[in-house]
Structure formats: C-alpha cells, structure tokens
Amino acid sequence: MVAREGLVAEASAAWSAALAALGFVKRSGDISTRPVAKDVLGWLGLNRAVNRADALLEVNPVIGVRHQELERIVAELLGQKFHRYNPPTISIHLGYLMPEGRYRPWLFGDEKPVSDAASEMVQAIDAYGGGFMNKNASLETMVAAMEDSQVGIAEQLAFRRPVGYLLLGDLGRARDAVQVSLERLGDRRDPAAQRFRSFAAAFEEQLARSA
C-alpha cells in the first residue's frame, strides 16, 4: 500500500523548513549538507519507504561527513568527475548514534501530527547527527572512524581509507590498506574488482610521487 496522497509532500515540507533553520542546504533528491569545517561538509540523506502495509511514510535518516579534498583525490584516481557533495566520506544510520544504538525509522501519517513527527526527527538529527558531524570534522577523526564496522560502506571505504592515510602522511598504512583490499579480492574478475585494481595501480603511482 502506498503512503496516502499528499503525505510525502507535507512531511517533506515540514522537515525541509526545520533543517533549513539549522543551516542545512537542500541538494538533489533527499540529500542536504551544511559546512562543519574548512573543506568538510556535514551530510544528511533521508531514505524513504512509501510502500508499507499500513500506508505510513517511513524515513530513515543517514548521517555523514564528507572531506572534499579526500573525495577529489578518490575521484581523480578513479578517473571520475568530482561531485560537489555526494557521496559522504563516512556515514551511519542516525539510530545507531542515539542512546538505543539500533536501527530507528521515523513514521509519518499515524495519529501524531506530521509537523510534530518532523520536528522530533530533525531534533534528533541536530542533537545526535550534529554531534557525529562535529566529532568527525577533522581528517584524523574521520579516518579513525573508518575503522568502525557500523560507519560507512565497506566497498566505498576501501577507496577512502588509503587516501585518508595518504593525506595524513602515513604512506606505509596507505599502502597496507590497499594491499589488504587487493588480497580480499582474490581471483575475482568482476567489474567492481577490476575497478579497485585500476584504483590501486593509480594509487601506487600517487604514492611514488608523494614519497
């Protein structure tokens, strides 16, 4: 069953206004960002589920931080055009940052007014998500966070972890991080594996220039 007509637009308008008041800038889709440090963006993605059996709108906020210089290097090594705000360098579901430490969706369209539900969600984003953004606003803390199994997507972090070490000047750990990922690929020859091998070769050239 699809969420009732008008519910998505009503909820989106409510949380968009509340987020704007906190300094978030609306990007494409359900992505918003705000600056947290020089060349570092706080990142918010609001994943929607509109086909629940109870016709409610389910929203799962994802909190992230994006280091622009790191992302520029990753894009260059992958031969891609640099994107101004997507993806986040590290990310985590908001619920895991809250005291309960578990997946926590927000529901819209039940007995609670939509504006109240939006306000509660945005307050949690600001309190817990904002804390995560501020804590990881430096490259050092961001790279350290990449070691947390709940933070980020493993396939994406395989590209970002070595670049983080490179920017920190730890060339040994940077090379080791790439080697670990190559070993995990084994004999794989799928497009994702070939993409990482291409990245690894370009990264080795980058390391040689940095030595």
| Tens of pLDDT, residues 184-201 | 999 899 999 999 999 999
Cβ atoms 164, 146 nearer than 8 A: yes
Round to whole Å and give the CA distance between 134 and 99.
18
Q: What percent of the chain has pLDDT over 70?
A: 97
Tell me which of 84-88, 92-96, 98-102, 147-151 is least confident: 147-151
pLDDT, averaged across the chain: 93
| Tens of pLDDT, residues 7-32 | 888 999 999 999 999 999 999 989 99
| Tens of pLDDT, residues 37-78 | 999 999 999 999 877 778 889 999 999 999 999 999 999 999
pTM (two decimals):
0.91
Cβ atoms 93, 103 nearer than 8 A: yes
* 50 Cβ neighbours under 8 A, 6+ residues apart: 2, 3, 8, 57, 58
Q: Where are the domains of the chain?
A: 7-68+81-145, 154-210
What's the N-to-C CA distance of the chain in angstroms?
A: 58
Round to whole Å and give the CA distance between 140 and 88.
16
Q: How many CA atoms lie within 13 A of 47 on its CB side?
A: 10
Does residue 5 register a pLDDT over 80?
Answer: no
Band the pLDDT of 159: cuts 50, 70, 90: very high
Round to whole Å and give the CA distance between 83 and 71.
8
Helix or strand or coil: residue 110? coil
SS3 content of the chain, % helix, strand, coil (to 5): 50, 20, 30
